[in-house]
Amino acid sequence: MRWIARRLLHGLLLLLGVSVLTFAFTEIAPGDYFDEMRLDPRISAETVEALRSRYGLDRPLHERYLRWLGSVLRGEFGHSFAYHTSVGSLLWVRARNTLLLTGLATGLAWLIAVPLGAWAAASKRRWVRALFGGGTSLLLAIPDILLALLFLLLAVRTGWFPVGGMASLDYPSFDAWGKVKDLVHHFALPVTAMTLATLPVLVRHVHASMSEVLRSPFLLSARGFGIPPRRLLFRYALPVAANPLISLFGHSVGSLLSASLLIEVVLSWPGIGPLLLESILARDVHVVIGAVLMSTVLLIVGNLLADVLLYAADPRIRVES
Amino acid sequence: MSSHAACGAREGEPEALLQVRDLAVHYVGAGGEEAAVLEEASFDLAVGETLGVLGESGGGKSTLALAVLGLLPPNGRVTAGRVSFHGRDLLRLSRRDLDQVRGDEASMIFQEPGVSLNPCMRAGDQVADVARVHRRWPAKRCREEARAMLELVGFDDSDGVFGAYPHQLSGGQKQRVVIAQALVCRPALLIADEPTASLDATTQAEIVALLRDLRQRLGLAMLFVSHDVALLHSLVDRMIVMYAGQIVESGSRDQVVLKPSHPYTRELLRCVPGGAEKGVGPGRPRLPTILGSPPDPARWPPGCRFEPRCPDRLESCGARRPEPRPAGDAGTVRCLLYDD
Amino acid sequence: STLAQSDGAAGEVTLEDPLITNHRVGRKGGRLVTALRAEPSTFNPVVALNIPSQTVIRRMTANLIRINRKTQETEAALAKTWDTSSDGRRFTIYLRRGVRFSDGHQFDADDVVFSFELYLNPEVASPIRDLLVIGDKPVRVKKIDRFTIEFELPEPLAAGERLFDGIAMLPKHILKDSYIRGEIGSAWSLDTAEKEIVGLGPFRMKEYLPGSRCVLERNPHYWKYDQEGNRLPYLDELVFVFVPDQSAHVIRFQAGDTDIIDRVSSENFLILKRQSRRSAYRLRDLGPGTIYSFLFFNLNVTSGKDRQSLRDKQSWFRDLSFRKAVSAAIDRQGVVKLAYRGLASPLASHVTPGVARWVNSELSVQPRSIAVARDLLRQAGFRWNRAQKLVDKNGAVVEFSIITSSSNSQRLQMATIIQADLKELGMTVHVVPIEHRALIERITREYDFEASIMAFGGGDTDPNAQQTMLLSSGYLHFWHLGQTQPSTVWEAEIDRLMKEQVRTIDPVRRKQLFDSVQELMAENLPLILLVSPHILVGARGEIDNFNPAVLEHPTLWNVEELFWSQQRSE
Amino acid sequence: MTTEAELDDVSESLLSARGLRKRYTRRGGWSKPLAVQALDGVAVEVVSGSTVAVVGESGSGKSTLARCLALLERPDSGSIRFRGDDLLAANRRSVTAARRRIQMIFQDPASALDPRWTAAEIVGEPLRIRGRERARERRRQALGAMEQVGLLARWADRRPRELSGGQRQRLAIARALILEPEILILDEALSALDLSVQARIVNLLLDLQASRDLAYVFISHELSMVRYLADEVVVLQTGKVVERDTVAGVFNEPRHPHTRELLAATPVLERAAAGGG
Amino acid sequence: MRRRRKILWAVVPLAALHGLVLLAEFFAPYHYATQNRMLPYAPPTPVHFFDQEGRFHRPFVYELVPDETGMGYREDLTRPCSIRFFVKGEPYRLLGLFSTDRHLLGVDEPARLLLLGTDGFGRDQLSRLLHGGRISLFAGFLAAALSLGIGLALGSLAGFYGRWIDAVIMRGAELFMALPWLYLLLGARAFLPLSISPVQTFLLLVSLIGTIGWARPARLIRGVVLSARERDYVLAAKGFGAGDSYLLGRHVLPQTLGVVYTQAALLIPLYILAEVTLSFLGLGVAEPEPSWGNMLGELQKYHVLTSYWWMFSPGLVLVVVFIVYHHLARKL
Ligand SMILES: Nc1ncnc2c1ncn2[C@@H]1O[C@H](COP(=O)(O)OP(=O)(O)OP(=O)(O)O)[C@@H](O)[C@H]1O
Ligand SMILES: Nc1ncnc2c1ncn2[C@@H]1O[C@H](COP(=O)(O)OP(=O)(O)OP(=O)(O)O)[C@@H](O)[C@H]1O
Ligand SMILES: [Mg+2]
Ligand SMILES: [Mg+2]
């Protein structure tokens, strides 16, 4: 397990690098958080300067960085200018909401993609192939933003789905069944949109790697021993095809926080995306760095997870140890 | 054409285990054109008998083996013929019914043991799985059965092998696991397509010895494909020789190897480097070869397919298609030389 | 300091003089849901700045004196009455007795003194402080007795009592500790426990769900009663849901998820209107608000080689005829039609018609005339070349860029329209939308722009609130910042007039002075005024006492009076 | 067992390798690296115009030896001398020059030919790299080389996948021969071919040996072919030379048990009556 | 052969599209910036063949006039205006070479031929779509070329030489994938002068995005190179005395072409779309210049989304273009 330690160290260095560079980048972008106040007729320029110096914005970059690093060590991850609170607590709630959405959607997408891709790869029927190719092409071609907008339009036109929010106001007063119904109702639209956005890429990959495995001789051999088709597909072919899919899975874990930005914004999901965008525009620097680091952590975790899974799934790697 | 002229079909014997009649296979190439890679293949295989298939590379040996168990690749198609096994026509069975036959009553093993095993399953599980699928025994029983089979194919340490993944096994061991897989349900027929071609000499010898032994013990009938004449001669009861998609000769092993009738068989046997021709230094005698190359499956010549390369060809060979006819004791040959 | 003599407060007093309101008597119960465009950033009035935060905070806090949003005049709040000294510098405020904070603790002069101490302490750097610093000196606060406080302004200030509207009274017993610790800035932040946020407003915090909503509940100790003696507010709960997207506001309102909506864009207002016949909501076009949008040129004095081309162009911008020509060429009706779908008013003065009390009604909107514009340019020495491009005396082609904030689509549209309008004069205009902070930096710090479209407004309607923009030394004097001396005669004149009106107590005289200021602005066109968008609001039909106004907050300013005229069928 | 000392006095050798060691480490993501000693002190001597056969079970290091001898892989230690120059110590130029004199046919014909190139391009590639001839001349020579190995000129524009396995292998041989090397290393070059084609290639090899004095390192597990073709046989087992002798010596009186095992395992066709056919 | 035919299925429409877009001025009935303030959000003009009496005519349209509600439009049926080919219109320079004022389609005054309706300024949506494609397609191309170029160079270096070069490049790639590039873009925009044209600004920013985007293709290409360099024919070429540059250029890089093509076909759409996000941050193509991204961005306005279906046209075009690109990617 020295290997894990090495990977973690690696990740730590990456985080450090990302934080340094992010700091440098924020410096490049014009303006700072308190600039907005300059347009407020009630606030004098002196007050703005006072605030800036209070938050250390008048200090040189490296000093600000070290201060920030100190607050990371205290577990606060810096201070949000806009929200007057520590970034850690601010981000956590949104990150949870985003993870709920993307986690559900990614899970769902994988659940659909694996059997669908496998089935399409195994099918010899022309129309299945045509339908599959056409369908994934179409989904792949619809930009996320358009997809989200279409769903919004659907919700508005039909009134079947609530727009925005994760639960009704009366949620706490519902009984268990009512709660479930309410959640499903609220999650339906964003989760579907998100699922549809991630699905085609996954299906394509599953299809590609399954097609490759299906051509391999050991399947012919297994077929020669009378293993029935479904078992052949899922018990024999899938674990072998899993290898590239696991890397993909690692990648989709890595992008759990960032993949849903547009959908969150359009469908008003209280996730990290809108906050990040707002913070970038408002130059709420620590929030941005916090969010970036959070997704970097996820990136690292995703890669690590992929390797662990690969280890678990592929005896060729596992057994050698 | 007629089934009476079937190569190797011996009259008057008890009902054969496997009866192949006039089997023909076409492959659709990438460009869309069809190639008839197997034609009019007919032979019988009795219970417990071993039949060797010898022939030119590309002659259709593998195709024949695959077609019998319905394992042709997607672009291959049986266009004619009948494969009756235990009295059932395998070509007319549904995929479901065929799956019940395969692995249970008849099994197939391939050339490359390295790629015939699922890299992500334990060897023992792969053997047990075949039993599970066909016998629907409880898992424990399947495992026991698999373990017993592994012992039978010569693993002393069957527990160790049971839990091993294919990449932890040597080529010979892998091939033995495949054989165990093939035999775990005690089939009556084993089709082996060059099962030892990619193994080194020692391993090859082990596997052949094993097959010989199992044949005895399980009363197994075998269809054994190879281009190693020496190997076939030492293993099989009868042989068929294939050239350019046709069975050109069949007969008992000694008859085919020692007294070949068909010119192709004769030429082929001449190519085998034997101890006799050895020599040292640059003055070494040259090996005999067959001139020219086999015809293109998409454009067979109208007459005898070996005619362009045949040392003994007659004038009529280029135009007339030879039909199989009896030769030797219970053999056949497809050559106009023997036409009368 | 004041804190030293803390908690000398005496015993309990019952609410002796509640404020009795004068409106239709309603019925209790129900919940009102409204959407906020952004999540509040804090619940702390001392540091709160943005509209969402203030919207929430103001429902939970109260002022001594408030400005009635409808009449735009001051009225009593926590102060039962007040006296103003004859020179307008001293205010004596008499508090209502027996008022309680939402946690039941009594409110008295100590809390007032404490609150002002917070706001005035330079260390706290409250943005409110600037309101209370007049001519570089802060307001002085003195406790007279438990329910009387005296305020002394360093200089006379016309309508000085209006100041109190923006200043929420805070509970000393809650905030004292964090103030002493020097952490008042991060008190009452988003992760503060709901119970700790205590105020004097009609509602108090019940629940805050980050990213999704905050729920306020009725303050049981509120100090207003209706005429039948019912304690206000009528509503049980007031819910703010956070909906970052404008469109989503409308969608949710349409869907019945929210009950009241404000700051509707004109397009969305029309969509709502189209459907209102079928639905049960009321929509109100309140006419122009206090916001005025304008085009202005960079008249700053710049140095540095890289600004040479700007300085060349400034010779046009400084030319009044040029500015007049531009103003004459702008199709304000087109702006109203295209950018606001008819729901805006073209402007003649920077005081909008929404501020009826102060607008100079003599000024009239300049009609569009390309001919007039061309004449003006020709007289100023501009010519047109063969390609019909405008060139100046030196033969340089007139070409400049207008920067606008990329996040504001209306301003972008205005810029696009102006671009097309000025093309008819042969001017080549680039519209450069840039991101908001970058825009502010260019305008306020680097002076690196040629022209820009911006809008001001909001806040108080009193002329005093405009000093920062009008005074040549003001920090919102964007066309020419950082002047120590007024650089033009008319700017000097405006400075003089503005300073005079501050000291003038007589309202009629003040209006005259301010009218002159507006005239000067209109004549010299430092701001080429465009339009003022209408304030558009809507509410569910069953909401009674709905009395929207153009001032902040348009729909919730009288939230304590709102009630459901019939229980909603749910 | 042969010791290196026995080889020392062979002075006229063309290529001589001494004490070759090569160790591979395989890295799995998790485990600690796994080391395989593929060559463990191997010595080989090739005299011009002769054939050295290398036999051994799978994984015994035959291909590794071949790659080292062809200078395509650097052994961890040991020396390789070509015409007396120590190539492991030599500069880049002389290594490149020597590489051209020592050519190799790879075990896996599918991987040895770039699937994008046409047959003529493939065969002409060594010339192209050497860069002396123009394109037209290159093609002419390539066609000549193809003809030599029995490939038809009309296949010149086919790509490898359009050729049969035997044809591909011949293409590789033609390519190896075009620079007129002095040593050709054949790593199981014939195993994939069927009998008649195999025989043809063997004949070609013999002709070339006779006419050009070409030396072969012949790696195979088909002992009948080894017996037919080789002058000397080297038997490898797990990276070590366990036996080295003339063909006659190895086949008639094998000394090492492993060699005996190998021999016993090879089925030999009873030829008693075969000749009469 | 079949493969080639399948590729043609993608290439021909793409070529046609690029042709249309290149000659946008000719195919577009109007200039993309011409505002028609009487006709904001006018629906597509219906084309008629039969007049009020039911008589057949050459195709014609009626003038659109605001209807009674002031919100919509109706046709002024009093005067049919014929559609004509090769009409005189606003002058332009075709491909920047020839001055002409002929447009493919036009209509008699006072009607306007608005085949895809108008946007909020009354500008002809079709004309904008044609012009917008020019920027979008070019931007997509440019950025993809940059990403792939750098990715190819770094990825093949990493894969071919391995060891520390590989380690450095791959760590760099990880870093690049984690950084918040929007800031850099905001910063870069701040450094650009205001006076350069909006299109140039945009293209500069797009180039920056393209440059930044090397990491993903580089990783993929590295993978391919890693396996390609293990091939025996690479070893064989080494045996013939080939140097590294020969091996890379002749054997290794050609192997990566498949990945490069596929990536190109995926990246181009991605970068075309990046503009929507950029516009969000004020970094997109500025008015009045159209692009598919900023036209699509209009849909984020609720009233446009719900009321004016023809404003979806850029979305539709994008989807079609993307499908074609994906198809191409799969077949290459
Ligand atoms: N999937 C396929 N598609 C098209 N043609 C094929 C396919 N498989 C085999 N063929 C062709 O069919 C013919 C017979 O092939 P087959 O594999 O049966 O030969 P074989 O006798 O087994 O040869 P070998 O000894 O080399 O294995 C050959 O010409 C071959 O090229
Ligand atoms: N590139 C490599 N990396 C790691 N291990 C290798 C590599 N090449 C060969 N080996 C290992 O070195 C040993 C010798 O391999 P080599 O290929 O030389 O055997 P061989 O005698 O040619 O076998 P075969 O007859 O199967 O071709 C084997 O254990 C093999 O797994
Ligand atoms: Mg075969
Ligand atoms: Mg080898």
Residue pLDDT, tens place only, C321-351: 999 999 999 999 989 988 898 899 999 999 9
- For A62-86, how does the pLDDT look when each residue is reduced to its tens digit (9 = 90+)? 888 888 888 888 877 888 888 878 8
Q: Mark which residues 279-308 of A lie under 8 Å from D by CB.
A: 307
Phi, psi of D37 (to 5 degrees): -85, 95
A226 touches chain B (CB under 8 A): yes
Angle between helices A238-254 and A285-313 (to 10 degrees): 170
Q: Give me chain A's average pLDDT, please.
A: 82
* For residues D160-173, average pLDDT: 78
Chains with 3+ CB–CB pairs under 8 A to C are A, E
- CA B193 to ligand 3 center in whole angstroms: 7
CB within 8 Å: A84 and C49: no
Percent of chain A clearing pLDDT 70 (strictly above): 97
> Cα–Cα distance between E180 and D49 in angstroms, integer?
67
Chain C: nearest CA to A287, how far in angstroms? 13
For atom 24 of ligand 2, the residue with the nearest CA is D58
- For B190-220, how does the pLDDT look when each residue is reduced to its tens digit (9 = 90+)? 999 888 777 777 778 888 888 888 888 888 8
Contacts of residue E269, defined as CB under 8 A and 6 or more positions apart, other chains included, come to A141, A143, E140, E318, E321, E322, E325, E326
Chain B: nearest CA to A210, how far in angstroms? 14
CB within 8 Å: E240 and D108: no
Among all chains, which residue has been given the structure tokens 């001594």?
C64
The per-residue pLDDT for E210 is 87
Q: Do the Cβ atoms of B27 and B35 come closer than 8 Å? A: yes
C465 touches chain A (CB under 8 A): yes
For an interface test with C, give the residue of A34, A40, A285 to mutate (most C CBs within 10 A).
A40
Q: Give me chain C's average pLDDT, please.
A: 88
The per-residue pLDDT for E254 is 83
CB within 8 Å: A146 and E190: no
* A33 or B15, which is more confident: A33
For atom 29 of ligand 2, the residue with the nearest CA is D59
Comparing CB atoms, the residue among D58, D228, D262 nearest residue B277 is D228
Task: Count Cβ atoms below 10 Å from residue C352 Cβ, excluding itself.
Answer: 25
Residue D26 Cα: closest atom of ligand 2: 4
Please list the alpha-helical segments (H only) found in chain D: 4-8, 62-69, 92-101, 109-112, 119-130, 135-148, 165-177, 195-212, 223-229, 247-252, 257-265
In a mutational test of the pocket of ligand 1, which residue from B25, B38, B63, B68 has the highest number of ligand atoms less than 8 Å from its CB? B63
Chain B: nearest CA to A207, how far in angstroms? 17
D94 lines ligand 2 (CB under 6 A): no
Q: Does residue C113 have a pLDDT over 90?
A: yes
Comparing CB atoms, the residue among C401, C405, C412 nearest residue E195 is C401
> Cα–Cα distance between A110 and C94 in angstroms, integer?
69
Phi, psi of A24 (to 5 degrees): -60, -40
pLDDT tier for residue B164 given thresholds of 50, 70 and 90? confident
The per-residue pLDDT for A319 is 53
Q: How far is CA D2 from the centre of its chain?
A: 22
Phi, psi of B115 (to 5 degrees): -105, 5
Q: Does residue B3 have a pLDDT over 60?
A: no
Q: Does residue D161 have a pLDDT over 80?
A: no
D62 lines ligand 2 (CB under 6 A): yes
CB within 8 Å: A320 and D34: yes
The per-residue pLDDT for E108 is 77
pLDDT tier for residue A318 given thresholds of 50, 70 and 90? low
B57 lines ligand 1 (CB under 6 A): yes
In a mutational test of the pocket of ligand 1, which residue from B28, B61, B193 has the highest number of ligand atoms less than 8 Å from its CB? B61
- Lowest average pLDDT, out of B181-190, C26-35, C397-406, E266-275, goes to E266-275
> Cα–Cα distance between A42 and A52 in angstroms, integer?
17
CB within 8 Å: D270 and B228: no
What is the identity of the amino acid at D258? H
Q: Does residue A102 have a pLDDT over 50?
A: yes
pLDDT tier for residue D11 given thresholds of 50, 70 and 90? low
* Beta bridge partners of residue B191, listed in sequence order: B108, B223
Residue D65 Cα: closest atom of ligand 2: 18
Q: Do the Cβ atoms of C452 and C443 come closer than 8 Å? A: yes
CB within 8 Å: B282 and D49: yes
- For B282-314, how does the pLDDT look when each residue is reduced to its tens digit (9 = 90+)? 456 777 778 777 787 778 888 888 888 888 888
Q: What is the pTM of this model?
A: 0.81
pLDDT tier for residue D9 given thresholds of 50, 70 and 90? very low
The per-residue pLDDT for C48 is 84
ipTM field: 0.78
Contacts of residue A2, defined as CB under 8 A and 6 or more positions apart, other chains included, come to none
Q: Does residue E242 have a pLDDT over 60?
A: yes
Q: Does residue B10 have a pLDDT over 60?
A: no
Q: Does residue A320 have a pLDDT over 60?
A: no
A218 touches chain D (CB under 8 A): no
For an interface test with B, give the residue of D57, D62, D195 to mutate (most B CBs within 10 A).
D195
Residue D221 Cα: closest atom of ligand 2: 25
pLDDT tier for residue D29 given thresholds of 50, 70 and 90? very low
* D197 or D192, which is more confident: D197
Q: In chain A, what residues touch B107 (CB-CB under 8 Å)?
A: 224-225
Contacts of residue E215, defined as CB under 8 A and 6 or more positions apart, other chains included, come to E151, E172, E173, E174, E176, E177
D13 lines ligand 2 (CB under 6 A): no
First to last CA, chain C: 55
Give CA angle at A201 (A198, A203), nearest 5°. 100
* Beta bridge partners of residue C269, listed in sequence order: none
Q: Does residue E244 have a pLDDT over 70?
A: yes
Chain C: nearest CA to E138, how far in angstroms? 21
Q: Does residue B4 have a pLDDT over 60?
A: no
- Provide the 8-state DSSP code for C562: -
> Cα–Cα distance between C530 and C332 in angstroms, integer?
6
Dihedral of CA C128/C134/C136/C139: which sign? negative
Q: Do the Cβ atoms of C169 and C115 come closer than 8 Å? A: yes
Contacts of residue E288, defined as CB under 8 A and 6 or more positions apart, other chains included, come to C416, C419, C420, C431, E32, E33, E121, E123
Considering every ligand atom, which ligand is closest to the CA of D60? 2
Contacts of residue B30, defined as CB under 8 A and 6 or more positions apart, other chains included, come to none
- CA E201 to ligand 3 center in whole angstroms: 63
- For C156-207, how does the pLDDT look when each residue is reduced to its tens digit (9 = 90+)? 888 888 888 888 999 999 999 999 998 888 889 888 888 899 999 999 999 8
> Cα–Cα distance between C161 and E15 in angstroms, integer?
72
Give chain A's contact residues with E (Cβ, < 8 Å): 14, 17-18, 21-22, 25-30, 133, 137-138, 140-143, 145-146, 149, 152-153, 156-157, 262, 266, 277, 280-281, 288, 292, 295-296, 299
> Cα–Cα distance between E148 and E144 in angstroms, integer?
6
* Beta bridge partners of residue D17, listed in sequence order: D44, D80
Q: In chain B, what residues touch A223 (CB-CB under 8 Å)?
A: 71, 102
Chains with 3+ CB–CB pairs under 8 A to B are A, D
Q: Give me chain B's average pLDDT, please.
A: 82
- Provide the 8-state DSSP code for C558: T
* Beta bridge partners of residue E228, listed in sequence order: none
* For residues B246-250, average pLDDT: 91
Mean pLDDT: which of A261-265, B198-202, C59-63 is highest? C59-63
C403 touches chain E (CB under 8 A): yes
Among all chains, which residue has been given the structure tokens 């054997």?
E251
Give CA angle at E71 (E69, E73), nearest 5°. 90
D59 lines ligand 2 (CB under 6 A): yes
- Lowest average pLDDT, out of A42-46, C368-372, D167-171, E25-29, goes to A42-46
> Cα–Cα distance between C35 and C30 in angstroms, integer?
17
* For residues D7-29, average pLDDT: 71
pLDDT tier for residue B279 given thresholds of 50, 70 and 90? very low
pLDDT tier for residue C436 given thresholds of 50, 70 and 90? confident
- Lowest average pLDDT, out of B80-84, B149-153, D158-162, goes to D158-162
The per-residue pLDDT for C7 is 46
C271 touches chain E (CB under 8 A): yes
